[in-house]
Structures are given as C-alpha cells and as structure tokens.
C-alpha cells in the first residue's frame, strides 16, 4: 500500500510539473524545422512559434512558384563546396540533416521527390503548397502553437520576449529561444533584417548583411561619360529583359579565386541578373567592395574554340554587312551581337583579331550590386564564431534565456540550386536539437 501511495504521489508530481517553454521566432523552413524537432519532446515542452506575417512560409511558397527546388543530388564532397568559406561550419549540420534526410522527411509527409536531369531535386508535383500544408498539419498535431502577426521587438528588462501583436504589445516568457528570422532580402515576405539592431544591442557577434544571388549594375560603355553608368538607351530600350542563352562567364578575383560556368542570364535596364550571374555574384560583390568594380569575361560562343571563331570572322564577307556576316557564319545575332556593338569601340569591331577575341572573352565591368531587397538571398548575419556547435549564441556569455539561431540569418551564403533550402532546414534541425540538449531533454 505504501509503495502504491509513493508511486501515485510521484506520478502526480510529474504530471503537475509544467512543461518547459520554447519560443521559435520566424516561420520559414528553419523555424518550422526547429519547431518540429522540439515538438518531438512531447509534453515536456511547450513550443510556440511566432511570425510577424499573417501566415508562415511565405518566401518558401514564392520560391516554389516555378517548381520547388528542395535540394541537390550531387555527391557530398561537391555539395559542400557550394558553401564556400562557410563549408567547414555547415558540414556537420548538413551531415546530420542533408539532402538524403530531407528527401526522406518529405516522403514521410506524403510528398514524393525526384531528381531532375541537372541533379536538382523537386517534389513530384513541383509545388511547395502541398508540402507546406502537410507539414503544418503535422506540427499542429504535435502540439506546436502558432502566433501570427507577432513582430518580435526584443527583450524586456526582466528577460521576457516582447512582441507587437494585433492586441498591442505582449510579453512572453520562455526557457529557450530559437531565432529564425531570415536575412535581408524580400522584406515584403518578412525577411527585413530588423533583428540586427536588437542583437547588436545584446553584443551578439554579427557580420553586415549583403546581397547574395543578386544582379549587378554595369559601368558606362566606352565613349560614354562615367556619369551615364548602365547600358546605352539604344541597348536598354531594345534588349532589357532578354536572355543571353548558351553563354559562359569567367572571372578571377584579386585573391585568385576563379569561376567559369556555362549557362544563361538576363540583361536588365541597368545591368545583368539571372542564374549564371547569381552563381558568380559573391565573387563579384566582394571584388567591388575591395576595388570599386569587377570585370568578368563573357564567352558568347562557348561551344566554339577561339581558332574556329577567328576563322569565321576572317572569312571573306563580300558585300555583306558585318552583322549579316556574324549571323551567317557564327549564328551570332540579337542580344549577343548587340552586346559586341555596345561594349566595343569601332576600331575593335573592325579588327578581326580583336573582334574574335571579344566574342570569346568580352569584358563586362560591373560597379554595384542591386539593392539587397531585390536579391534572392543575403550573406552576413550571426557569426559562427559567436555560437557553439549547436548554434547557441555564446557572445555575450550568459545571454538569457538561452538563444539559438538558424537559417538565413546566420553568416553564410550559397548559390541557388537547392543549397539555400538545404542549409536552412539543416540549421533549423541543429538548433532544435541544441535546445533539447541545453534543456536536458
């Protein structure tokens, strides 16, 4: 009888112990993944997710409009190189929850994935919305509470979290906090970087936010004043918005880092943007910051050798115009031919050697990135040297309640192609497990 009494009494005390409270702030992939990991602790934790927007996953849904590129299927050693100088810090996170784990996770939600011809991984129906709906349903079933239209304002003097809500300013106490507030791009979807001064006031180690996977403004063409940076009115009015297809970009920066890739990009009213430009954007951006400009080489005919191009340029053209000759012999017309006339002087156009060299390596000088809010993603944010291996903020020491960070607000960047989403999921997964470890669960 006494044993039964003690057992029942202990059980009653355990049931009466309130769950620990964790606040997840930010409803993108990183925040939602952190919430899912935390919810696995069951009744030991109360998980509440806050977001300033009316609904979660807005950037995730927009990114999936043309087909949700979840991750990439290339081997790990090549995959990790896509993270450049942050590959060492991200490697253990992605090793724990990388492309294979992400595909298995989607499959468990009832979303089958497939590998496209270029190695990109997509949901079978190519859509983001069904995956997000299934995910949110699973999170709600696991007990995650959602508080929308709650904009984080920082900390109160007593350490509570402050939010601006439809009901006015509210305070929330938590035993741990996960921040997954995004970077500085696409502010209209919630990633506005407003968290930077809040963390700076607390002494958190930060790197300035910069555009990544971004477009660039070009320098003035030869013969035009420097003040008239950008394409000529003639070129811009006729070719802005048109793509450069089957071209290649080469670039080596002042630190010796090199890039060469074939692909496509687009001429804008003042410069260039698109997938091929995004792939080299971090190198161009850093070179501009260091030296005021960066010049890449554009190969207009990457499938032809320099010798082949020179032979065709030198071929007698009779009474044909040079434009007709280039179209006939090299199939070079439209925006590609216009680019030559835009960037080369008359003397260079008339010189077969210089013209052939330009077709294979046309110098394009860029002088500024487009604004960060136009960028696909951003670099900079919470520095890894201010966090531990579980993404808990350690600078300043003793910040309370324990603070973890995840997603694009961390100081890393990656090209498009599934690498961005993979690292966001992986860091959210790591932060969630970091909180469980910190709370002894």
Rounded distance, CA 415 to CA 279, Å? 6
Instruction: Identify the domain boundary among 319, 342, 369.
Output: 369
Cα 91 to Cα 65, 124, 224, 248, 384, distances in angstroms: 29, 28, 48, 30, 13
Q: Which residues make Cβ contacts (< 8 Å) with residue 254, sequence separation at least 6?
A: 287, 290, 291
Nearest to 436 by CA among 9, 123, 43, 45: 45
Per-residue model confidence as pLDDT tens digits over 16-47: 588 999 999 999 999 999 999 999 999 999 99
Q: Do 46 and 189 share a domain, yes or no?
A: yes
Q: What is the pLDDT of residue 317?
A: 86
- Each residue's pLDDT tens digit, 105-159: 999 999 999 999 899 999 999 999 999 999 999 999 999 999 999 999 999 999 9
Evaluate whether residue 389 is within a structural domain: yes
Q: Residues of 89-115 as b/e, b for ≥16 C-beta within 10 angstroms? A: bbbebbeebbbebbbebbeebebebee
Instruction: Indicate if 221 and 357 belong to the same structural domain.
Output: yes
The answer to whether residue 244 scores a pLDDT higher than 90 is yes
Domain that holds residue 115: 15-210+380-438
Q: Where does the pLDDT of residue 305 fall: very low under 50, low under 70, confident under 90, or very high at 90 and above?
A: very high
**Residue ending a domain, choose from 348, 369, 390:** 369
Co-location of 193 and 326 in the same domain: no
DSSP letter, residue 156: -
pLDDT in tens, 47-67: 999 999 999 999 999 888 888
* Nearest of 246, 379, 268, 361 to residue 309 by alpha carbon: 361
| Domain co-membership, 142 together with 264 | no
> What does the alpha-carbon distance between residue 88 and residue 382 come to, in Å, rounded to a whole number?
16
CA angle 185, 388, 412 (to 5 degrees): 25
Q: 260 in a domain, yes or no?
A: yes
Sign of the Cα torsion 159, 164, 170, 173 reads negative
Q: CATH no. for residue 90?
A: 3.50.50.60
What is the tens place of the pLDDT at every residue in 164-219?
A: 999 999 999 999 999 999 999 988 888 899 999 999 999 999 999 999 999 999 99
- Cβ proximity of 414 and 83 under 8 Å: yes
Q: Taking 70 as the threshold, does the pLDDT of residue 322 lie above it?
A: yes
Which pLDDT score is estimated for 398? 75
Q: Domain check: are 189 and 112 in the same one?
A: yes
Residue 3 lies in a domain: no
Kindly state whether residues 206 and 313 are assigned to the same domain: no
**Domain identity same for 65 and 181:** yes
Is the domain of 118 the same as that of 255? no
In a domain, 324, yes or no: yes
Same structural domain, 433 and 342? no
- The enclosing H or E element of 405 equals strand 403-405
**How much is the mean pLDDT over the chain?**
93
Task: Give how many domains the chain has, as a whole number.
Answer: 2
Q: Is the pLDDT of residue 397 over 60?
A: yes
Tell me if 427 is assigned to some domain. Answer: yes
Q: Is the pLDDT of residue 226 over 60?
A: no
Helices first, then strands: H and E counts in the chain: 16, 19
Of the three residues 309, 342, 369, the one that is the final residue of a domain is 369
Q: Is residue 206 part of a domain?
A: yes
Helix residue spans in 295-402 (DSSP H): 306-314, 322-330, 334-343, 346-350, 352-360
Instruction: Give the residue among 422, 375, 433 at the shortest CA–CA distance from 87.
Output: 422
The reported pLDDT for the residue numbered 16 is 59
% of the chain exceeding 90 in pLDDT: 86
Please tell me whether residues 81 and 179 are part of one structural domain.
yes
């Amino acid at each position: 009888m006494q044993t039964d009494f003690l057992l029942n009494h202990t059980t009653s005390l355990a049931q009466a112990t309130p769950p620990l409270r964790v606040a997840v702030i930010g409803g993108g992939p990183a925040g939602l993944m952190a919430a899912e990991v935390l919810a696995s602790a069951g009744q030991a934790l109360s998980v509440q997710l806050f977001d300033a927007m009316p609904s979660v996953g807005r950037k995730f849904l927009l990114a999936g409009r043309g087909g949700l590129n979840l991750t990439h299927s290339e081997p790990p050693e090549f995959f990790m190189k896509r993270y450049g100088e942050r590959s060492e810090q991200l490697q253990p996170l992605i090793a724990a929850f990388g492309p294979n784990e992400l595909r298995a996770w989607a499959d468990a939600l009832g979303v089958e994935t497939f590998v496209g011809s270029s190695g990109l991984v997509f949901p079978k129906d190519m859509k983001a919305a069904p995956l997000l709906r299934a995910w949110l349903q699973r999170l709600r079933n696991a007990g995650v509470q959602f508080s929308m239209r709650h904009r984080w304002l920082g900390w109160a003097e007593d350490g509570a979290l402050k939010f601006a809500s439809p009901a006015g300013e509210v305070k929330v106490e938590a035993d741990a906090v996960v921040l997954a507030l995004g970077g500085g791009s696409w502010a209209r979807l919630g990633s506005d970087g407003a968290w930077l001064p809040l963390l700076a006031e607390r002494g958190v180690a930060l790197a300035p936010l910069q555009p990544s996977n971004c477009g660039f403004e070009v320098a003035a063409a030869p013969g035009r004043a420097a003040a008239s940076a950008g394409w000529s009115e003639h070129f811009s009015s006729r070719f802005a918005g048109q793509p450069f297809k089957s071209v290649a970009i080469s670039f080596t920066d002042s630190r010796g880092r090199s890039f060469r890739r074939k692909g496509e990009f687009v001429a804008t009213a003042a410069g260039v943007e698109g997938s091929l430009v995004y792939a080299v954007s971090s190198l161009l951006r850093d070179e501009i910051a260091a030296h005021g400009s960066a010049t890449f080489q554009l190969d207009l005919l990457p499938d032809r050798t320099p010798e082949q191009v020179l032979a065709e340029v030198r071929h007698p053209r009779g009474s044909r115009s040079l434009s007709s000759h280039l179209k006939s012999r090299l199939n070079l017309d439209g925006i590609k031919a216009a680019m030559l006339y835009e960037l080369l002087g008359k003397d260079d156009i008339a010189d077969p050697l210089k013209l052939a060299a330009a077709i294979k390596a046309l110098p394009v000088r860029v002088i500024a990135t487009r604004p960060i809010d136009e960028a696909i993603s951003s670099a900079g944010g919470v520095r890894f040297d201010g966090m531990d291996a579980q993404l808990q903020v350690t600078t300043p020491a003793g910040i309370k309640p324990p603070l973890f960070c995840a997603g694009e607000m961390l100081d890393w960047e990656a090209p498009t192609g599934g690498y961005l989403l993979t690292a966001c999921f992986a860091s959210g997964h790591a932060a969630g497990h970091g909180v469980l470890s910190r709370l002894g669960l």
